[in-house]
Structure 1
Amino acid sequence: MAATVHDLPPTEDPAASQTVRAQARLRELIVSGELAPGARIPELTLVERLGVSRTPVRAALLRLQEEGLLEALPGGGFVVREFGEADIHDAIELRGTLEGLAARLAAERGCGAVVLAGLRDCLDRIDELLAREAIDDESFAGYAAHNGRFHRLLAEAAGSPTIRRQIERVVTLPFASPNGFVRVGAGAPAARDTLVIAQAQHHAVVEAIVQREGARAESLMREHARIARGKLDEALATQQGLQSLPGAGLIRRAGR
Protein backbone atom coordinates (compact mmCIF):
# COMPACT_ATOMS: atom_id res chain seq x y z
CA MET A 1 0.00 0.00 0.00
CA ALA A 2 1.35 3.43 -0.88
CA ALA A 3 2.54 5.60 1.97
CA THR A 4 0.48 8.61 3.01
CA VAL A 5 1.89 12.03 3.83
CA HIS A 6 1.65 11.13 7.53
CA ASP A 7 3.80 8.04 6.97
CA LEU A 8 6.76 10.10 5.74
CA PRO A 9 9.67 10.94 8.03
CA PRO A 10 9.37 14.51 9.34
CA THR A 11 12.62 15.54 7.67
CA GLU A 12 11.68 14.34 4.18
CA ASP A 13 11.41 17.03 1.52
CA PRO A 14 7.71 17.19 0.48
CA ALA A 15 8.62 18.19 -3.09
CA ALA A 16 11.00 15.24 -3.42
CA SER A 17 8.40 12.84 -2.03
CA GLN A 18 5.84 14.11 -4.54
CA THR A 19 8.30 13.42 -7.34
CA VAL A 20 8.94 9.89 -6.09
CA ARG A 21 5.21 9.19 -5.87
CA ALA A 22 4.55 10.67 -9.31
CA GLN A 23 7.38 8.59 -10.74
CA ALA A 24 6.01 5.38 -9.19
CA ARG A 25 2.48 6.05 -10.40
CA LEU A 26 3.64 6.94 -13.92
CA ARG A 27 5.67 3.75 -14.05
CA GLU A 28 2.55 1.79 -13.09
CA LEU A 29 0.54 3.48 -15.86
CA ILE A 30 3.19 2.59 -18.42
CA VAL A 31 3.79 -1.00 -17.32
CA SER A 32 0.04 -1.68 -17.07
CA GLY A 33 -0.46 -0.48 -20.64
CA GLU A 34 -2.64 2.50 -19.75
CA LEU A 35 -0.01 4.63 -21.48
CA ALA A 36 0.81 2.67 -24.63
CA PRO A 37 4.12 2.52 -26.54
CA GLY A 38 4.44 5.50 -28.86
CA ALA A 39 1.84 7.47 -26.91
CA ARG A 40 2.75 11.07 -26.14
CA ILE A 41 2.63 11.77 -22.40
CA PRO A 42 -0.11 14.33 -21.65
CA GLU A 43 1.59 16.43 -18.98
CA LEU A 44 -1.40 18.57 -18.02
CA THR A 45 -3.68 15.54 -17.84
CA LEU A 46 -1.16 13.82 -15.55
CA VAL A 47 -1.07 16.85 -13.26
CA GLU A 48 -4.83 16.50 -12.76
CA ARG A 49 -4.77 12.70 -12.58
CA LEU A 50 -1.96 12.49 -10.04
CA GLY A 51 -3.05 15.50 -8.00
CA VAL A 52 0.38 17.14 -7.96
CA SER A 53 1.86 20.25 -9.53
CA ARG A 54 3.70 20.34 -12.86
CA THR A 55 7.14 20.49 -11.20
CA PRO A 56 7.12 16.97 -9.68
CA VAL A 57 5.45 15.58 -12.82
CA ARG A 58 8.23 17.03 -15.00
CA ALA A 59 10.89 15.69 -12.60
CA ALA A 60 9.24 12.25 -12.68
CA LEU A 61 9.18 12.30 -16.49
CA LEU A 62 12.90 13.07 -16.59
CA ARG A 63 13.65 10.22 -14.18
CA LEU A 64 11.62 7.77 -16.25
CA GLN A 65 13.53 8.93 -19.31
CA GLU A 66 16.74 8.07 -17.43
CA GLU A 67 15.29 4.65 -16.61
CA GLY A 68 14.63 4.13 -20.30
CA LEU A 69 10.83 3.95 -20.19
CA LEU A 70 10.36 7.27 -22.01
CA GLU A 71 11.92 9.01 -24.98
CA ALA A 72 12.24 12.79 -25.29
CA LEU A 73 10.72 14.34 -28.42
CA PRO A 74 12.79 16.88 -30.40
CA GLY A 75 10.13 19.55 -29.99
CA GLY A 76 9.57 18.84 -26.29
CA GLY A 77 7.56 16.31 -24.36
CA PHE A 78 7.93 12.55 -24.02
CA VAL A 79 6.59 9.33 -25.52
CA VAL A 80 6.46 5.82 -24.08
CA ARG A 81 9.26 3.62 -25.44
CA GLU A 82 8.82 0.30 -27.14
CA PHE A 83 11.45 -2.38 -26.51
CA GLY A 84 12.88 -4.97 -28.84
CA GLU A 85 13.89 -8.38 -27.54
CA ALA A 86 17.56 -7.42 -28.02
CA ASP A 87 17.08 -4.36 -25.78
CA ILE A 88 15.84 -6.58 -22.95
CA HIS A 89 18.58 -9.16 -23.47
CA ASP A 90 21.18 -6.39 -23.25
CA ALA A 91 19.67 -4.99 -20.04
CA ILE A 92 19.69 -8.43 -18.42
CA GLU A 93 23.28 -9.04 -19.58
CA LEU A 94 24.34 -5.69 -18.14
CA ARG A 95 22.82 -6.56 -14.77
CA GLY A 96 24.62 -9.91 -14.79
CA THR A 97 27.92 -8.24 -15.61
CA LEU A 98 27.62 -5.73 -12.77
CA GLU A 99 26.40 -8.28 -10.24
CA GLY A 100 29.22 -10.56 -11.30
CA LEU A 101 31.69 -7.76 -10.63
CA ALA A 102 30.15 -7.17 -7.21
CA ALA A 103 30.40 -10.86 -6.36
CA ARG A 104 34.04 -11.04 -7.50
CA LEU A 105 35.07 -8.01 -5.47
CA ALA A 106 33.18 -9.32 -2.43
CA ALA A 107 35.21 -12.52 -2.69
CA GLU A 108 38.51 -10.78 -3.28
CA ARG A 109 38.08 -8.02 -0.70
CA GLY A 110 36.08 -9.97 1.84
CA CYS A 111 32.39 -9.64 2.58
CA GLY A 112 31.28 -7.90 5.77
CA ALA A 113 29.79 -10.10 8.49
CA VAL A 114 26.46 -8.28 8.55
CA VAL A 115 25.95 -8.51 4.79
CA LEU A 116 27.05 -12.16 4.75
CA ALA A 117 24.60 -12.97 7.54
CA GLY A 118 21.85 -11.27 5.54
CA LEU A 119 22.70 -13.28 2.41
CA ARG A 120 22.60 -16.52 4.39
CA ASP A 121 19.28 -15.54 5.95
CA CYS A 122 17.85 -15.05 2.46
CA LEU A 123 19.10 -18.50 1.48
CA ASP A 124 17.47 -20.09 4.52
CA ARG A 125 14.13 -18.39 3.89
CA ILE A 126 14.04 -19.34 0.21
CA ASP A 127 15.00 -22.92 1.10
CA GLU A 128 11.99 -23.04 3.45
CA LEU A 129 9.69 -21.85 0.67
CA LEU A 130 11.01 -24.36 -1.85
CA ALA A 131 10.59 -27.18 0.68
CA ARG A 132 6.82 -26.72 0.60
CA GLU A 133 4.75 -29.33 -1.16
CA ALA A 134 3.23 -26.79 -3.56
CA ILE A 135 4.58 -23.51 -4.94
CA ASP A 136 1.50 -21.29 -4.74
CA ASP A 137 0.98 -17.54 -5.13
CA GLU A 138 2.12 -16.94 -1.55
CA SER A 139 5.31 -18.89 -2.19
CA PHE A 140 6.06 -16.93 -5.35
CA ALA A 141 5.50 -13.65 -3.52
CA GLY A 142 7.78 -14.79 -0.70
CA TYR A 143 10.42 -15.91 -3.17
CA ALA A 144 10.32 -12.54 -4.94
CA ALA A 145 10.71 -10.66 -1.64
CA HIS A 146 13.70 -12.70 -0.44
CA ASN A 147 15.23 -12.85 -3.92
CA GLY A 148 15.05 -9.07 -4.20
CA ARG A 149 16.73 -8.70 -0.81
CA PHE A 150 19.44 -11.20 -1.79
CA HIS A 151 20.32 -9.18 -4.88
CA ARG A 152 20.31 -5.88 -2.96
CA LEU A 153 22.67 -7.35 -0.38
CA LEU A 154 24.92 -8.70 -3.10
CA ALA A 155 25.18 -5.16 -4.51
CA GLU A 156 26.46 -4.09 -1.07
CA ALA A 157 28.79 -7.04 -0.62
CA ALA A 158 31.62 -5.55 -2.69
CA GLY A 159 31.86 -2.62 -0.29
CA SER A 160 31.81 -0.22 -3.25
CA PRO A 161 29.23 2.59 -3.27
CA THR A 162 30.05 3.17 -6.94
CA ILE A 163 29.18 -0.39 -7.97
CA ARG A 164 26.11 -0.43 -5.72
CA ARG A 165 24.78 2.75 -7.35
CA GLN A 166 25.33 1.37 -10.84
CA ILE A 167 23.50 -1.85 -9.98
CA GLU A 168 20.64 0.18 -8.50
CA ARG A 169 20.44 2.10 -11.78
CA VAL A 170 20.54 -0.94 -14.04
CA VAL A 171 17.80 -2.84 -12.18
CA THR A 172 15.42 0.04 -12.91
CA LEU A 173 15.82 -0.60 -16.63
CA PRO A 174 12.66 -2.19 -18.06
CA PHE A 175 12.65 -5.96 -17.49
CA ALA A 176 16.13 -5.95 -15.88
CA SER A 177 14.93 -6.45 -12.30
CA PRO A 178 15.98 -9.74 -10.65
CA ASN A 179 12.26 -10.41 -10.12
CA GLY A 180 11.16 -9.33 -13.59
CA PHE A 181 10.46 -12.87 -14.78
CA VAL A 182 9.86 -14.77 -11.54
CA ARG A 183 6.17 -15.40 -12.22
CA VAL A 184 6.54 -16.42 -15.87
CA GLY A 185 5.29 -19.99 -16.16
CA ALA A 186 4.10 -19.96 -12.56
CA GLY A 187 1.37 -22.50 -13.27
CA ALA A 188 3.57 -24.90 -15.21
CA PRO A 189 4.78 -28.20 -13.68
CA ALA A 190 8.42 -27.09 -14.13
CA ALA A 191 7.94 -23.77 -12.29
CA ARG A 192 9.62 -25.10 -9.15
CA ASP A 193 12.58 -26.41 -11.19
CA THR A 194 13.61 -22.94 -12.33
CA LEU A 195 13.45 -21.57 -8.80
CA VAL A 196 15.46 -24.53 -7.50
CA ILE A 197 18.18 -23.92 -10.10
CA ALA A 198 18.29 -20.22 -9.27
CA GLN A 199 18.51 -21.00 -5.57
CA ALA A 200 21.34 -23.47 -6.16
CA GLN A 201 23.22 -20.64 -7.87
CA HIS A 202 22.48 -18.36 -4.90
CA HIS A 203 24.06 -20.94 -2.57
CA ALA A 204 27.03 -21.44 -4.88
CA VAL A 205 27.85 -17.74 -5.20
CA VAL A 206 27.73 -17.21 -1.43
CA GLU A 207 30.03 -20.19 -0.96
CA ALA A 208 32.40 -18.80 -3.61
CA ILE A 209 32.48 -15.45 -1.82
CA VAL A 210 33.24 -17.13 1.51
CA GLN A 211 36.00 -19.22 -0.07
CA ARG A 212 37.45 -16.08 -1.72
CA GLU A 213 36.97 -17.55 -5.21
CA GLY A 214 36.47 -14.33 -7.15
CA ALA A 215 36.43 -15.69 -10.70
CA ARG A 216 33.92 -18.41 -9.77
CA ALA A 217 31.64 -15.95 -7.95
CA GLU A 218 31.65 -13.64 -10.96
CA SER A 219 30.92 -16.44 -13.42
CA LEU A 220 28.05 -17.74 -11.31
CA MET A 221 26.29 -14.38 -11.15
CA ARG A 222 26.64 -13.80 -14.87
CA GLU A 223 25.16 -17.23 -15.50
CA HIS A 224 22.46 -16.55 -12.92
CA ALA A 225 21.23 -13.52 -14.88
CA ARG A 226 20.82 -15.68 -17.97
CA ILE A 227 17.96 -17.53 -16.29
CA ALA A 228 15.98 -14.35 -16.89
CA ARG A 229 16.85 -14.49 -20.60
CA GLY A 230 15.44 -17.99 -20.79
CA LYS A 231 12.29 -16.88 -18.97
CA LEU A 232 11.90 -13.99 -21.44
CA ASP A 233 12.02 -16.39 -24.37
CA GLU A 234 9.50 -18.60 -22.56
CA ALA A 235 7.17 -15.66 -21.99
CA LEU A 236 7.32 -14.55 -25.62
CA ALA A 237 6.56 -18.05 -26.88
CA THR A 238 2.94 -18.21 -25.66
CA GLN A 239 0.04 -15.89 -25.00
CA GLN A 240 -0.25 -17.26 -21.47
CA GLY A 241 3.41 -16.45 -20.87
CA LEU A 242 2.94 -12.90 -22.08
CA GLN A 243 -0.01 -12.43 -19.76
CA SER A 244 2.21 -13.32 -16.79
CA LEU A 245 4.84 -10.74 -17.76
CA PRO A 246 4.33 -7.21 -16.40
CA GLY A 247 4.86 -4.64 -19.13
CA ALA A 248 4.53 -7.16 -21.98
CA GLY A 249 2.72 -4.53 -24.05
CA LEU A 250 5.97 -2.55 -24.26
CA ILE A 251 7.78 -5.37 -26.10
CA ARG A 252 8.10 -5.28 -29.86
CA ARG A 253 7.98 -8.90 -30.99
CA ALA A 254 10.55 -10.11 -33.52
CA GLY A 255 9.10 -10.09 -37.03
CA ARG A 256 6.15 -7.96 -35.96
Structure 2
Amino acid sequence: MRALMELRKRILSGDYPGGTRLFEVPLAETLQISRTPVREVMSRLAEEGLLDRLANGGFVVRSFTYADAVDAIELRGVLEGTAARLAAERGVSQAGLDQLRELLARLEDCFGSSSDDVDLEAYSEANARFHATLVEMSGSTVIQREVDRATRLPFASPSAFLSGSTQVAAFRQSLHIAQDQHRNLLAAVASREGARAEFIAREHARIARKNLEYAVYEDPELMLTLPGLVLLNS
Protein backbone atom coordinates (compact mmCIF):
# COMPACT_ATOMS: atom_id res chain seq x y z
CA MET A 1 0.00 0.00 0.00
CA ARG A 2 1.46 3.30 -1.13
CA ALA A 3 0.11 5.28 1.84
CA LEU A 4 1.59 2.81 4.32
CA MET A 5 5.02 2.98 2.69
CA GLU A 6 4.86 6.78 2.49
CA LEU A 7 3.92 7.31 6.13
CA ARG A 8 6.50 4.76 7.29
CA LYS A 9 9.14 6.56 5.24
CA ARG A 10 8.16 9.94 6.69
CA ILE A 11 8.36 8.63 10.26
CA LEU A 12 11.73 6.94 9.74
CA SER A 13 13.15 10.06 8.10
CA GLY A 14 12.16 12.23 11.05
CA ASP A 15 9.35 14.19 9.39
CA TYR A 16 7.23 13.20 12.38
CA PRO A 17 9.49 13.14 15.46
CA GLY A 18 8.85 10.85 18.40
CA GLY A 19 5.96 12.12 20.50
CA THR A 20 4.15 13.71 17.55
CA ARG A 21 0.42 13.09 17.59
CA LEU A 22 -1.00 12.19 14.19
CA PHE A 23 -4.40 13.59 13.22
CA GLU A 24 -6.52 11.83 10.63
CA VAL A 25 -7.73 14.82 8.60
CA PRO A 26 -4.39 16.55 7.89
CA LEU A 27 -2.70 13.17 7.43
CA ALA A 28 -5.38 12.12 4.93
CA GLU A 29 -4.75 15.33 3.01
CA THR A 30 -0.98 14.80 3.08
CA LEU A 31 -1.25 11.20 1.89
CA GLN A 32 -4.11 12.04 -0.50
CA ILE A 33 -6.39 9.31 0.79
CA SER A 34 -9.61 9.22 2.80
CA ARG A 35 -9.78 8.96 6.60
CA THR A 36 -10.71 5.26 6.68
CA PRO A 37 -7.50 4.00 5.04
CA VAL A 38 -5.54 6.50 7.17
CA ARG A 39 -6.83 4.72 10.28
CA GLU A 40 -5.87 1.37 8.74
CA VAL A 41 -2.37 2.62 7.94
CA MET A 42 -1.85 3.94 11.47
CA SER A 43 -3.14 0.68 12.96
CA ARG A 44 -0.65 -1.22 10.82
CA LEU A 45 2.23 1.00 11.94
CA ALA A 46 1.15 0.54 15.56
CA GLU A 47 1.46 -3.22 15.02
CA GLU A 48 4.95 -2.63 13.64
CA GLY A 49 5.85 -0.66 16.77
CA LEU A 50 6.34 2.73 15.14
CA LEU A 51 3.18 4.25 16.61
CA ASP A 52 1.52 4.05 20.02
CA ARG A 53 -2.24 4.01 20.48
CA LEU A 54 -3.65 6.66 22.77
CA ALA A 55 -6.45 6.01 25.26
CA ASN A 56 -8.83 8.16 23.20
CA GLY A 57 -8.18 6.11 20.07
CA GLY A 58 -5.61 8.39 18.47
CA PHE A 59 -1.99 7.62 17.58
CA VAL A 60 1.34 9.15 18.50
CA VAL A 61 4.76 8.52 16.94
CA ARG A 62 6.74 6.32 19.24
CA SER A 63 10.19 7.34 20.45
CA PHE A 64 12.87 4.90 21.57
CA THR A 65 15.77 5.02 23.97
CA TYR A 66 19.20 3.64 23.21
CA ALA A 67 18.39 0.83 25.65
CA ASP A 68 15.24 0.01 23.64
CA ALA A 69 17.32 -0.36 20.49
CA VAL A 70 19.90 -2.57 22.24
CA ASP A 71 17.16 -4.77 23.70
CA ALA A 72 15.46 -5.12 20.30
CA ILE A 73 18.73 -6.24 18.70
CA GLU A 74 19.44 -8.66 21.56
CA LEU A 75 15.95 -10.11 21.23
CA ARG A 76 16.46 -10.71 17.53
CA GLY A 77 19.72 -12.48 18.31
CA VAL A 78 18.02 -14.76 20.83
CA LEU A 79 15.21 -15.61 18.44
CA GLU A 80 17.44 -16.17 15.42
CA GLY A 81 19.79 -18.20 17.59
CA THR A 82 16.89 -20.42 18.62
CA ALA A 83 15.84 -20.75 14.99
CA ALA A 84 19.36 -21.76 13.94
CA ARG A 85 19.59 -24.33 16.75
CA LEU A 86 16.24 -25.86 15.81
CA ALA A 87 17.21 -25.97 12.13
CA ALA A 88 20.44 -27.78 13.00
CA GLU A 89 18.89 -30.19 15.48
CA ARG A 90 15.84 -31.04 13.40
CA GLY A 91 17.86 -31.24 10.21
CA VAL A 92 17.53 -29.29 6.99
CA SER A 93 16.77 -31.02 3.70
CA GLN A 94 19.34 -31.07 0.94
CA ALA A 95 17.14 -28.69 -1.04
CA GLY A 96 17.06 -26.33 1.93
CA LEU A 97 20.83 -26.43 2.34
CA ASP A 98 21.27 -25.82 -1.38
CA GLN A 99 19.02 -22.78 -1.09
CA LEU A 100 21.12 -21.40 1.77
CA ARG A 101 24.32 -22.08 -0.18
CA GLU A 102 22.92 -20.26 -3.19
CA LEU A 103 22.13 -17.23 -1.02
CA LEU A 104 25.59 -17.42 0.53
CA ALA A 105 27.09 -17.39 -2.98
CA ARG A 106 25.00 -14.34 -3.85
CA LEU A 107 26.36 -12.61 -0.78
CA GLU A 108 29.92 -13.55 -1.77
CA ASP A 109 29.37 -12.04 -5.21
CA CYS A 110 28.57 -8.69 -3.60
CA PHE A 111 32.19 -8.23 -2.55
CA GLY A 112 34.61 -6.76 -5.06
CA SER A 113 38.37 -6.99 -5.35
CA SER A 114 39.01 -4.43 -2.62
CA SER A 115 37.70 -4.30 0.93
CA ASP A 116 35.90 -1.06 0.10
CA ASP A 117 34.09 -2.48 -2.92
CA VAL A 118 30.67 -3.84 -1.90
CA ASP A 119 27.42 -3.91 -3.86
CA LEU A 120 25.38 -2.73 -0.91
CA GLU A 121 21.94 -2.95 -2.51
CA ALA A 122 22.45 -6.53 -3.64
CA TYR A 123 24.03 -7.46 -0.30
CA SER A 124 21.10 -6.01 1.65
CA GLU A 125 18.58 -7.98 -0.39
CA ALA A 126 20.49 -11.27 -0.20
CA ASN A 127 21.26 -10.76 3.49
CA ALA A 128 17.59 -10.30 4.35
CA ARG A 129 16.69 -13.40 2.36
CA PHE A 130 19.45 -15.47 3.99
CA HIS A 131 18.17 -14.59 7.45
CA ALA A 132 14.54 -15.21 6.54
CA THR A 133 15.34 -18.55 4.92
CA LEU A 134 17.36 -19.73 7.89
CA VAL A 135 14.47 -18.90 10.22
CA GLU A 136 12.10 -20.80 7.91
CA MET A 137 14.40 -23.82 8.14
CA SER A 138 13.67 -24.01 11.87
CA GLY A 139 10.31 -25.51 10.97
CA SER A 140 8.66 -23.42 13.69
CA THR A 141 5.84 -21.08 12.72
CA VAL A 142 5.96 -19.67 16.26
CA ILE A 143 9.63 -18.68 15.90
CA GLN A 144 9.02 -17.28 12.42
CA ARG A 145 6.18 -15.10 13.70
CA GLU A 146 8.17 -13.78 16.64
CA VAL A 147 11.26 -13.05 14.53
CA ASP A 148 9.07 -11.13 12.09
CA ARG A 149 7.65 -9.14 14.98
CA ALA A 150 11.09 -8.43 16.45
CA THR A 151 12.58 -7.25 13.16
CA ARG A 152 9.81 -4.80 12.28
CA LEU A 153 11.63 -2.06 14.17
CA PRO A 154 14.07 -0.62 11.61
CA PHE A 155 17.13 -0.60 13.85
CA ALA A 156 16.60 -4.26 14.81
CA SER A 157 16.40 -5.76 11.32
CA PRO A 158 19.32 -7.78 9.88
CA SER A 159 19.99 -5.00 7.36
CA ALA A 160 19.50 -2.11 9.78
CA PHE A 161 22.98 -0.62 9.35
CA LEU A 162 23.62 -1.34 5.69
CA SER A 163 22.37 2.01 4.42
CA GLY A 164 25.40 4.21 3.95
CA SER A 165 27.67 1.70 5.65
CA THR A 166 30.25 1.65 2.87
CA GLN A 167 31.05 5.25 3.79
CA VAL A 168 32.21 4.19 7.27
CA ALA A 169 35.33 2.06 7.69
CA ALA A 170 33.99 0.36 10.81
CA PHE A 171 30.82 -0.65 8.98
CA ARG A 172 32.73 -1.93 5.96
CA GLN A 173 34.78 -4.16 8.24
CA SER A 174 31.62 -5.44 9.89
CA LEU A 175 30.32 -6.67 6.50
CA HIS A 176 33.31 -8.96 6.11
CA ILE A 177 32.95 -10.26 9.67
CA ALA A 178 29.24 -10.84 9.07
CA GLN A 179 29.94 -12.77 5.88
CA ASP A 180 32.40 -15.04 7.69
CA GLN A 181 29.70 -15.70 10.28
CA HIS A 182 27.24 -16.54 7.50
CA ARG A 183 29.65 -19.21 6.27
CA ASN A 184 30.17 -20.66 9.75
CA LEU A 185 26.47 -20.57 10.50
CA LEU A 186 25.62 -22.54 7.37
CA ALA A 187 28.37 -25.05 8.17
CA ALA A 188 27.03 -25.54 11.70
CA VAL A 189 23.49 -26.09 10.48
CA ALA A 190 24.65 -28.53 7.78
CA SER A 191 26.67 -30.44 10.41
CA ARG A 192 23.67 -30.43 12.77
CA GLU A 193 25.64 -28.68 15.50
CA GLY A 194 22.78 -26.97 17.28
CA ALA A 195 24.68 -25.29 20.11
CA ARG A 196 27.30 -23.90 17.73
CA ALA A 197 24.67 -22.63 15.30
CA GLU A 198 22.84 -20.84 18.10
CA PHE A 199 26.02 -19.22 19.41
CA ILE A 200 27.06 -17.96 15.96
CA ALA A 201 23.60 -16.55 15.23
CA ARG A 202 23.52 -14.67 18.52
CA GLU A 203 27.01 -13.29 17.97
CA HIS A 204 26.00 -12.35 14.44
CA ALA A 205 23.24 -10.10 15.77
CA ARG A 206 25.74 -8.34 18.01
CA ILE A 207 27.35 -6.80 14.93
CA ALA A 208 24.28 -4.58 14.68
CA ARG A 209 24.72 -3.64 18.33
CA LYS A 210 28.34 -2.65 17.75
CA ASN A 211 27.34 -0.59 14.73
CA LEU A 212 24.66 1.09 16.82
CA GLU A 213 27.23 1.94 19.49
CA TYR A 214 29.49 3.41 16.84
CA ALA A 215 26.70 5.56 15.39
CA VAL A 216 25.59 6.84 18.80
CA TYR A 217 28.95 7.43 20.45
CA GLU A 218 31.52 7.80 17.67
CA ASP A 219 29.67 9.44 14.78
CA PRO A 220 26.32 10.93 15.88
CA GLU A 221 25.77 12.46 12.43
CA LEU A 222 25.02 8.94 11.22
CA MET A 223 21.88 9.05 13.33
CA LEU A 224 20.38 11.31 10.67
CA THR A 225 21.19 9.01 7.75
CA LEU A 226 20.52 5.49 9.01
CA PRO A 227 16.89 4.31 8.85
CA GLY A 228 14.98 4.69 12.09
CA LEU A 229 17.81 6.00 14.26
CA VAL A 230 16.27 9.47 14.17
CA LEU A 231 13.59 8.03 16.48
CA LEU A 232 16.13 7.37 19.22
CA ASN A 233 16.38 9.74 22.14
CA SER A 234 18.73 9.69 25.13
Amino acid at match of 1:239: P
- Equivalence for 2:66: 85
Give me the TM-score of the superposition, normalised by structure 1.
Answer: 0.85
1:40 aligns with 2:42: no
**CA shift at 1:26, angstroms?**
1.4
Task: Show the 5 A alignment for 1:226-241.
Answer: 226-237=206-217, 238-241=219-222
Q: Deviations over 1:97-153 (max 9, x none)?
A: 1111111111011113333222111211222222432535x6111211111111111
- Equivalence for 1:105: 86
1:140 aligns with 2:120: yes
Distance 2:111 2:154 in 1: 28
1:251 aligns with 2:232: yes
Query: Equivalent residue of 2:92, what SS?
Result: coil
Distance 1:173 1:49 in 2: 24
**CA shift at 1:186, angstroms?**
2.5
Which of 120, 143, 149 is 2:129 aligned to? 149
Question: What RMSD in Å do the two structures reach over aligned CA positions?
Answer: 1.8
- Equivalence for 1:5: none
Distance 1:210 1:80 in 2: 43
**CA shift at 1:185, angstroms?**
4.5
Amino acid at match of 1:102: A
**CA shift at 1:190, angstroms?**
4.1
Residues 115 and 156 in structure 1, CA contact (< 8 A), matched pair in contact too: no
Query: Equivalent residue of 1:79, what SS?
Result: strand
Distance 2:56 2:156 in 1: 30
Residues 66 and 233 in structure 2, CA contact (< 8 A), matched pair in contact too: yes
Query: Equivalent residue of 1:71, what SS?
Result: strand
Query: Equivalent residue of 1:108, what SS?
Result: helix
**CA shift at 1:236, angstroms?**
0.9
- Equivalence for 2:138: 158
Percent sequence identity is 47
Where structure 2 has 5 or more consecutive residues not aligned to the other structure, the ranges are: none
Distance 1:55 1:84 in 2: 32
Amino acid at match of 2:231: L
Distance 2:93 2:35 in 1: 44
Residues 67 and 174 in structure 1, CA contact (< 8 A), matched pair in contact too: no
Distance 1:107 1:205 in 2: 10
Residues 184 and 245 in structure 1, CA contact (< 8 A), matched pair in contact too: yes
Distance 1:99 1:247 in 2: 21
Aligned length: 233
Distance 1:109 1:144 in 2: 28
Amino acid at match of 2:221: Q
1:73 aligns with 2:73: no
Where structure 1 has 5 or more consecutive residues not aligned to the other structure, the ranges are: 1-19
